[in-house]
Structure formats: structure tokens, C-alpha cells
């Protein structure tokens, strides 16, 4: 069976108390993220890459996971470049599945991760979990006036992880792949728990989510 390799790219915003190192109930988001990845029971290796000046904080967060499948490598101040460096360190075989997981989406359910892996193994070059858009979306002109209402029936919010066939990544610019430029992307069912956690309000919501689980 081909390997599944998860990349968690970090950037300059992921520093002590911020980004992936912001605490939720006293535990860094990065710890929650990686725990969720390894608990999905479908990932063989996890490569975390971030700027070396913050490696102490990253190492502490990963030590709390305590899983030998997880390694920390040198990244860059930009998450896209960190993703490239993580991919280079991972050295996936052409038949492997590569996941790129957003470090500020700490509570993605295991079924979303497995759904992405299954879609890529079934032949999709790229797959991502999505959730329906429930808000009414307005298009606004440069003058601040609403010009039209977008039909939300066909709108979806992309979540994480983004899954790729390794042979596709070997032939594609990673930044374009992560932006879904010029590629057909298979969608799988997302989950409300796959929310992004980056603001103080979102961390409060995450705190409540964890309290509800307990």
C-alpha cells in the first residue's frame, strides 16, 4: 500500500502565542493539529516545517503528541515555501498520497482526512473537504453598492487537508496546486469542526468545542 504523508507548513506568523503556537485550553494549536492527523489512522508520516528561530516552540508542541511518525524540519517564513521544503524532506514516491494540512484547522475530524485520502487513492489528482455556504453572499462594486446576490447552492467553503497524488505534485508548481489553479479538484464531505482557528473569537469557539467533547 502506498504511503500517506502529511505536511504541516508553518510560517513567520506561527510564533510563541500566535498562529499554530496559540493555545487552546493550554495546548498549542499545532499539538491539536498533529494529534488529529495521527489519530486518523491512515497517515504514515507527518512532516512539520517552519522557520528555525521558532523550532523550540514547535518541538515542544510536537513532543506533547509523542508519536515517532512526526518529524520537524527547517522551513521558511512563508507557509508556501515551508510546504515546498517539507515536501522535499518527505521525498514521496510517485504512488504516495500527500496531504497538506492547515496548521490553524486543529479539529478536522478523522473522517474528513480519510475521505481525502480515499479520493486520491481512487484516482483524483487533488481532493479537499468542503462545507456548504449558508450565508447570503453579496457582490459589491467599487462604490460599495451591492450589484447582485450570488446563488449559494453551488458555493462551498474549502477546508483541510488538501490531498494530492504525489506524481501530480512532481509535475506541478506547488503554489498553483495549493491554490487549485488549472486542476480538477474532487470534493469530499467536510465537517463543521473543520473550522479555521486564527482569531481570538475563533479560539473561544474552539475552547467551547473542546469543552463540549469532554
Q: What is the mean pLDDT of the chain?
A: 93
Q: Buried b / exposed e across 132-153, counting CB within 10 Å, b at 16+? A: eeeeeeeeeeeeeeeeeeeeee
User: Which residues contact residue 26 at a Cβ distance below 8 angstroms, ignoring those fewer than 6 apart?
Assistant: none
Secondary structure element (H or E) that encloses residue 39, with its range: helix 29-39
pLDDT 10s digits, 65-112: 999 999 999 999 999 999 999 999 999 999 999 999 999 999 999 999
pLDDT 10s digits, 29-46: 999 999 999 999 999 999
C-alpha cell at 43: 497517515
User: What domains, with CATH codes, occur in the chain?
Assistant: 4-213 (3.90.550.10)
pLDDT 10s digits, 114-128: 999 999 999 999 999
Q: What is the C-alpha to C-alpha distance for residues 209 and 194, in angstroms, rounded to an integer?
A: 11
Amino acid at each position: 500500500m502506498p504511503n500517506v504523508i502529511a505536511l504541516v507548513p508553518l510560517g513567520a506568523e506561527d510564533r510563541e502565542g500566535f498562529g499554530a503556537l496559540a493555545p487552546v485550553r493550554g495546548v498549542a494549536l499545532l499539538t491539536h493539529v498533529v494529534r488529529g492527523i495521527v489519530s486518523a489512522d491512515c497517515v504514515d508520516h507527518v512532516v512539520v516545517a517552519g522557520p528555525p528561530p521558532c523550532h523550540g516552540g514547535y518541538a515542544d508542541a510536537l513532543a506533547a503528541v509523542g508519536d515517532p511518525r512526526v518529524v520537524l524540519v527547517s522551513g521558511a517564513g512563508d507557509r508556501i515555501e515551508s510546504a515546498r521544503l517539507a515536501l522535499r524532506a518527505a521525498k514521496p514516491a510517485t504512488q504516495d498520497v500527500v496531504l497538506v494540512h492547515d496548521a490553524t484547522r486543529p479539529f478536522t475530524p478523522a473522517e474528513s482526512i480519510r475521505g481525502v485520502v480515499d479520493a486520491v487513492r481512487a484516482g483524483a489528482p487533488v481532493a479537499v473537504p468542503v462545507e456548504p455556504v449558508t450565508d447570503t453572499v453579496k457582490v459589491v462594486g467599487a462604490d460599495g453598492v451591492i450589484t447582485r446576490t450570488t446563488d449559494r447552492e453551488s458555493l462551498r467553503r474549502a477546508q483541510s487537508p488538501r490531498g494530492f497524488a504525489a506524481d501530480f505534485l512532481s509535475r506541478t508548481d506547488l503554489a498553483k496546486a495549493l491554490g487549485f489553479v488549472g486542476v480538477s479538484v474532487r470534493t469530499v464531505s467536510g465537517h463543521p469542526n473543520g473550522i479555521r482557528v486564527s482569531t481570538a473569537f475563533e479560539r473561544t469557539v474552539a475552547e467551547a468545542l473542546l469543552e463540549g467533547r469532554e
